[in-house]
Amino acid sequence: MNITLQLFGRFREFADGPELRLELPGVTTAAEFRAAFDAWARTHWPDAATALLQASAIATETTLLHARSPLPADGRLALLPPVSGG
């Protein structure tokens, strides 16, 4: 599946821009995406990014996805790191 992944927060520090374009064959659910992207991130980003990935939410433009949620047909996802306020 062709994925366009919008990056927010600290994830933008790891990439050259606000989006990544990835080809992830056979990925159809949020859990499969998380596993495939974790493998990609371990190769391309520092270890800190993979720990951050595990605590982050995966969403479409309108919905937070759960592990079994199907990915949208257009392949547009967002990676939302946890935030804290003060």
The per-residue DSSP string of 23-49 comes to E-TT--BHHHHHHHHHHHHHHHS-HHH
Confidence (pTM)? 0.89
- From first to last of its 86 residues, the chain has per-residue pLDDT tens of 999 999 998 888 888 899 999 999 999 999 999 999 999 998 888 776 778 888 999 999 999 999 999 999 999 999 999 985 55
Rounded Cα distance, 12 and 27, in Å: 23
Decide if 3 contacts 24 (C-beta within 8 A). Answer: yes
Please state, in angstroms and rounded to a whole number, the distance separating the CA atoms of residues 11 and 43.
Answer: 15
What's the count of helices (H) and strands (E) in the chain, helices before strands? 3, 4
Rounded-to-integer distance, Cα 77 and Cα 57, Å: 10
